[in-house]
Amino acid sequence: MPPDFTQLRVVSFESRRASEMRDLVARHGGRAQSVPTMREIPLETNADAFEFADELARGEIDAVVLLTGVGTRMLVDAVATRQPREAFVAALGRTTLVVRGPKPVAALRELGLKPAVVAPAPNTWEDLLEALDEQYPVSGRHVAVQEYGRSNPQLIEALVSRGARVRRVTVYRWALPEDLGPLRSIIGQIIDGEVDVVLFTSATQADHLLEVAARDDRDAALRQALGGVCIGSIGPIATEALTGHGLRVDFEPDSLQMSHLVRQLARIAGYLVSKKRAARDRGIDTNRWRRVEMSWPSEQAADADPILLRACRREPVPRTPVWLMRQAGRYQREYHVLRRNLSMLELCRTPEVAAEVTLMAVERLGVDAAIIFSDLMVVAEPMGLGLDYVKGSGPVIAEPIRTRGDLDRLRPVGRGGLPYVSEAVRITRRALAPHLALIGFAGAPFTVASYLIEGGKSSRYQHTKMLMHRDPATWQALMEYLVTVLRDLLNDQIEAGADVVQLFDSWVGALGPDDYRRFVLPHLRALIDGVDRSAPLIHFATGNPALLPLMREAGGDVIGLDWRVDLADGWATLGPDVAVMGNLDPLILHATPAQIRSAVGAILDKAAGRPGHIFNLGHGILPTTPPEHVAEMIDAVAELSARP
């Protein structure tokens, strides 16, 4: 099924591109209205621009900060009315050019110029400052800032506080439409509950909407009504404005394009509207809430039977359920915002933030399950081992386990050993829609042992294999210890509300079948046998398809397949009495939408509609993955697997 608003009433606030936005919404199944909220004020005698150009020509400007693509082009056009265009472009080229986002980059490319500093996604003004601090400290420099319709006093103040002398260059300004009738009419419709979704593509639209409502003494009523409307924002600038007006943005796309805003929101708007209205009905202030503050009516929870659970039980389902490993991660703008001031360990140790990240991913993607945000190796902390996360290296153990004597450093853990993980599960389960499953997880004994022995990532697992073969008694003792710790961790998560648990054996593919049977299989079987059977267990490993029969022997309700095995062959090897999960190569998500759809179809063909297939990648989403391609994949699974 393609992304569809399913006849929700969708209002876009527009100026230049009103008809384009209206057509986009209608094409995606929405009942579209486009309301003008602003008109451009021509700056034919732009004193700011002309004075800036003169200073630039004299070499008095050290850096130019360009905040918008349209503003960059208009600045050049305005100056060209007073001096040769080529001279102004050449003067720009002699300064340090700093840009926020891809649109000014494109505008400079048209002029034959290249920026020296580019603020990375998500391109907030704070990201711009971080880029400047790292690449071009502004202390003592004369910095010109191209302003865009409304000033950003926070950015100006931050530059001044860093020792910069700042020139503000006004390029264009916006006024209210001459005819306020349409805007007043839509304010009334929102207040009367006749609108489901509103879309903002600029900060000025938000300013003007609230300004007109205030003129008519309806701003309080409008804010209250917007508490039951899904609010979509094109990006950080519009979001900052809406937040400043006391409104909570429900969706912001990862790419700053109208088509992505409409398409991605069409997929999930129905869910967001129903969730927001259910929260409002329960007395939650939806204009100032976080996802973790949601609570669902108990009668909905009692009636829920998530599609993922039915697939784990190999029951018939109307379509193939889908979720993704690392579905919350660095490929998403909102993830970067949530992670801005937190290390990986701090995020995992803060249950409300871990739950917020978990809920963010499932809500944005429209998948059938949330997986609690944590890491395989946080379990090292209650064991008494030093743990850190090093950029580019992942988890690092300061003092690895290498000898029998090292085992004496391991502390008993017991139930409740990771209380912040259990609490994150409790918060998430309460806030997660009842029809969606919540997955808890732990690393499998071999993978966790390898981290503890190697001290971090490894390509050959030399120390691990040496300990296995040279000192099997120490290996046995370590594995027995880990079985107890990991079993308790999984059972704690089930008790806290996890509907499903997954064992990640990410590194076990480094072993051959004989070593797996001798050194891993007995311990995996003991662990799986000790997990509460009220929650289905997914057993996932990567790297060696020859291990599949042994994985099945170890146990699990669902066996996860990585991309190295043909799904039909893998399922035949495992047998019909087990569900399977997988198994698209994560790199396929870098291909074209048509290629992604074709690859999804090929995997679904291999599953042949048999009960018990859960669609997933063959490993986690890569940080470089385009978010819109993830949406393409999820939509393709839903459409191609739909059954009567």
- Write out the catalytic residue numbers: 326, 330, 339, 375, 451
* 396-to-349, 389, 441, 489 alpha-carbon distances in Å: 17, 6, 20, 21
Pick the closest to residue 253 from 244, 261, 245, 243 (CA basis).
Answer: 261
Q: Are 621 and 328 in contact (CB under 8 A)?
A: no
User: At which residue do the structure tokens 């805003």 appear?
Assistant: 261
Tokens of 187: 């304010």
- Residue 582's φ and ψ, nearest 5 degrees, are 145, -165
Which helix (H) or strand (E) segment holds residue 370: the answer is: strand 369-371
CA distance 619 to 467: 28
The candidate with the shortest Cα–Cα distance to 210, out of 241, 250, 174, is: 241
CA distance 80 to 89: 10
Q: What is the largest CA-CA distance in the chain?
A: 85
Cis geometry, peptide bond prior to residue 583 (ω within 30 degrees of 0)? yes
Cα–Cα distance, 577 to 549 (Å, whole number): 13
Q: Which residues contact 4 (CB under 8 A, 6 or more apart)?
A: 28, 29, 266, 267
Among 580, 503, 577, 505, which residue's Cα sits nearest to residue 547? 505
Residue 312 · residue 557 · CB < 8 Å: yes
Query: How far apart, in whole angstroms, are the C-alpha atoms of residue 407 and residue 459?
Result: 24
Q: Which residues pair with residue 32 across a beta bridge?
A: 10
3-class secondary-structure state, position 88:
helix
- One-letter identity of residue 324: L
Neighbouring C-alpha atoms within 13 Å toward the C-beta of 584: 35
Q: Using an 8 Å Cβ cutoff, are 238 and 253 in contact? A: no
